[in-house]
Amino acid sequence: MTLAFDVVTLFPEMFAAITGSGISRRALERGLWQLQCWNPRDWAEDNYRTIDDRPYGGGPGMVMLAGPIEKSIDAAQARRQQLGQDACPVIFLTPQGKPLTHRRVLQLAAGSGAILLCGRYEGVDERVLERRVDEEMSLGDFVLSGGEIAALALMDACVRQLPGATSDPASVLEESFVAGLLDTPHYTRPEVYAGVPVPDVLVSGDHEKIRRWRLKQALGRTWQRRPDLLEGREVTEEEKRLLDEFVREQR
């Protein structure tokens, strides 16, 4: 089963960012995933290709019309059926959605993908959201000009999880959030930069000490920056001991 994304967007050219560079480009060339964009303007009902109108009740801005969006979703689903691809969720990228998590990324990467709806202007007619959208998703508590950047982030996060997408599969297993923790600090050559040396343990050659140091740093960073990730997490005796060491060292 190939991971596939269908994106409903007024700006399909923005997605050259994911198809033309980096890990996602190489994975696309290897046939590990697919992307198809659908522009609602292609289903507009007038010669001006109108896809928005003033909101009922007044107020600033414009609202995307339900009809062209729904027809775009219909076309995406029809293409998937013709190709024999499994049914997939329709996801609306919006600040009002649930925050995207690593767990949800893994679920999507293991499935057949999704149809991603990218809103613009003041929003999308609520009726098409109620009729066709399965899930609303957010990158965080801030507002973007549209859903395209959020869709790019979602797809990139999913594609890098695919077997064969990265040159070193182990790197994906050691990233932030994989074990419910933030990532450890990383160092490379030169051994001393701007007068600051690499931590001695990392050049010691003692793999067990290096493992413990990295785990302690990951626990400590999470405690400092994202303590919410530690809440409710089952912490082993070793992790508790290492975190206590880290906290003491900061005082």
The full set of domain ranges for the chain reads 3-159, 174-250
CATH class (in words) of the domain with range 174-250: mainly alpha
The CATH number that domain 3-159 falls under is 3.40.1280.10
User: b/e for 203-234, b at 16 or more Cβ within 10 A?
Assistant: eeeeeeebebbbbbbbbbbbbeeeeeeeeeee
Q: Any idea which residue has 């019309």 for tokens? A: 65
Which pLDDT belongs to residue 179?
A: 82
The pLDDT profile of the chain, 251 residues, written as one tens digit per residue, is 799 999 999 999 999 999 999 999 999 999 999 999 999 999 998 999 999 999 999 999 999 999 999 999 999 999 999 989 888 999 999 999 999 999 999 999 999 999 999 999 999 999 999 999 999 999 999 999 999 999 999 999 999 999 999 977 666 656 667 788 999 999 999 999 999 999 999 999 999 999 999 999 999 999 999 999 999 899 999 999 999 999 999 98
